Amino acid sequence: AQSVAQPEDQVNVAEGNPLTVKCTYSVSGNPYLFWYVQYPNRGLQFLLKYITGDNLVKGSYGFEAEFNKSQTSFHLKKPSALVSDSALYFCAVRGGGYQKVTFGIGTKLQVIP
Amino acid sequence: EAGVTQSPTHLIKTRGQQATLRCSPISGHTSVYWYQQALGLGLQFLLWYDEGEERNRGNFPPRFSGRQFPNYSSELNVNALELEDSALYLCASSLVGGQVNQPQHFGDGTRLSIL
């Protein structure tokens, strides 16, 4: 069975500082990894994905993520946080074929002005 | 391009009643997914339809059911509503579901409240 762990319920960071939101996963076979963001009273928005290739993936709004196969991690990063980045962030993993996508429980990011 | 649309936005029911939630995918998307987002529990996978067929189902009782229509829109039906069914129900769509590189695009959800 596949699973995703987001070990931090909340991450606080000062505006302008770099941010990291952690994610580890477990899946049989090749992992296909995604990050989504959810703003209050809205659905999830796709940020970026890792399918194959370079371990550093760039996505929307200046976010990037680093895939580490040996540590089974896919941490989300941004060099300089904005107050508008404050939201709920979800990591997700799926296997091949018609395997479902499994989401983590989410990490609340609070960027402090 | 219109996004994923869900209706109604809010739905209030009482215990034992039945609820129907609707979802229209992005034009050209053939896969529709349903998730339950209850407070503190993250996203729980409910159902996945692709080309009119049920492709996968989460660990929910049979009173949660759905279908996908020829135009790829979808319905989620919840029978014999219980208090713990109160949640935000999210629908997502994607291009061909079997392709692993396709992200899901989400609607803004239906807030179901059970009194």
* Mutation site for B-interface testing, chosen from A34, A42, A44, A107 by largest number of B Cβ within 10 Å: A44
Banded model confidence at residue B97, pLDDT cuts 50, 70, 90: low
Whole-angstrom distance, CA of residue B66 vs CA of residue B60: 12
How far, CA to CA in Å, does A48 sit from each of A9, A37, A66?
A: 21, 10, 11
- Beta carbons within 8 Å of B51's beta carbon, 6+ residues apart: B30, B68
Mean pLDDT for chain A overall? 93
Q: Which of B35, B42, B50 sits opposite A105 (nearest CB)?
A: B42
User: Is the CB of A101 inside 8 Å of chain B's CB atoms?
Assistant: yes
Q: Residues 35..64 of B with a Cβ closer than 8 Å to A: which? A: 35, 41-43, 45, 48, 50, 55-56, 58
Q: Which of B4, B42, B58 sits opposite A100 (nearest CB)?
A: B58
How far, CA to CA in Å, does A41 sit from each of B2, B8, B61, B110?
A: 19, 14, 27, 10
* Mutation site for A-interface testing, chosen from B43, B47, B95 by largest number of A Cβ within 10 Å: B43
Q: Which residue has the higher pLDDT, B1 or B28?
A: B28
Lowest mean pLDDT among B92-96, B104-108, B109-113: B92-96
Q: What is the pLDDT of residue B95?
A: 87
Lowest mean pLDDT among A24-28, A73-77, B33-37: A24-28
pLDDT(B96) > 80 = no
- Beta carbons within 8 Å of B69's beta carbon, 6+ residues apart: B52, B75
